[in-house]
Amino acid sequence: MMIYILQNEFLRRMKCEFNGTLLKSVLPPLLVTEFVFGVLGNGLALWIFCFHLKPWKSSTVLLFNLAMADFLLNMALPFRTSYYISELNWIFGDIFCNICLFMLAMNRSGSAFFLMAIAVDRYMRVVHPHHPINSLSVSKAMLGAFAIWLLTISMNAHIFTLEHGNMTKKYCESFMVDTDHQRNLIWRKSEFVLSFYMPLCVILYCTVHIISHLRGRQLAQHAKIKKALCVITVVVVLFIICFLPSNITQLLIWIKTRQLASTLNKSEVCSALENLTIVFYITISLTYLNSMLDPVVYYFSSPVFKNICRKALHLPQADPTESTEKKTRETGSQTLTSHQRHSSSYIQLK
């Protein structure tokens, strides 16, 4: 049942709140699953990056920072699970509430931007293989990753200014439906949209141009090209599964709120948006799936990561198809070299 309060005494703005009974049964199992597989997958990834992937490449820097973004999420998930089990009652204090919300937002924005950077990296290596950026040093790649973190921090720093009210039930949310659409926080809306739609456009652009480039040059069967195409496909699928549902729901809430606020009383708006708000909280929890799915990106991006995973699972170290292609290329190269030598000898004899 939806209830509402006046939460900001200065702006006297009405926000919708609810008891979260349905969320108690849906979200804790989902968050626990995401936490367990996220810790296992990203723990393995960080171990491989730190102790087995040497020397690093510029692409390794992007993958490592993506794993770090997932680590921030994994640290906050147990507390969010407790929050939903308690039917949206936060017991850890306002300061720690904002810290957890900040880590969740950093993961959401950071993951989106680093997935975008990985897509751009693959695009440049396939479509523009001779561009100087492909020989970027590790130190410069680290500076680029640092810039992405600065952008992510600046976009989410406002979370530390959030107030959560003084009630019997303590809420801990960075998003609440605001019935006064004219006083909505424009910065928060812009940040939420920018952190999804800009990376989505860039990732789709890279994907379309990679596929178009490969079809035009008929290179899709080349082993390295197939690997790059596989990586970009995984990035697109992961990005859409994890981030698209919550962003669509957010847009629907904004549109619906604007429509209802002009025709209904403020208290009635909250009731009308109850189901849509619950859907939003469920879909925002789906964004946390990226923490347990990102290791799939690492698997297809790094042969070392793939081999260690295969060894841990007692699987063959080399893909027979890749080995055959490699032997074929080596044989073809040897044949060509031999043919060139014979031709050279023949010319000299003449």
Confidence of residue 168 (pLDDT cuts 50, 70, 90): low
Q: Which helix (H) or strand (E) holds 53?
A: none
pLDDT at 125 over 70: yes
Distances from the Cα of 153 to the Cαs of 107, 167, 262, 316, in angstroms?
A: 10, 30, 35, 42
Question: What pLDDT is attached to residue 274?
Answer: 82
Could you report the per-residue pLDDT of 76-89, keeping only the tens digit for each? Answer: 999 999 999 988 88
Could you report the per-residue pLDDT of 32-72, keeping only the tens digit for each? Answer: 999 999 998 888 888 888 888 888 888 899 999 999 999 88
pLDDT at 297 over 50: yes
Sequence-ordered alpha helix ranges (H) in the chain: 21-51, 58-85, 94-127, 138-156, 186-217, 223-261, 266-272, 274-286, 290-301, 303-312, 320-349
Task: Return d(Cα 108, Cα 88) in angstroms, integer.
Answer: 21
Task: Return d(Cα 9, Cα 230) in angstroms, integer.
Answer: 53
**pTM: predicted TM-score of the whole model, two decimal places:** 0.79
- HSE at residue 64, side-chain half, CA atoms within 13 A, is 21
- Domain 2-327: which topology? Rhopdopsin 7-helix transmembrane proteins (1.20.1070)
Pairing type for strands 2-8 and 13-18 reads antiparallel
Could you report the per-residue pLDDT of 194-243, keeping only the tens digit for each? Answer: 888 899 999 999 999 988 887 777 655 566 667 777 888 888 888 899 88
Mean pLDDT throughout 123-139? 90
Task: Return d(Cα 158, Cα 136) in angstroms, integer.
Answer: 33
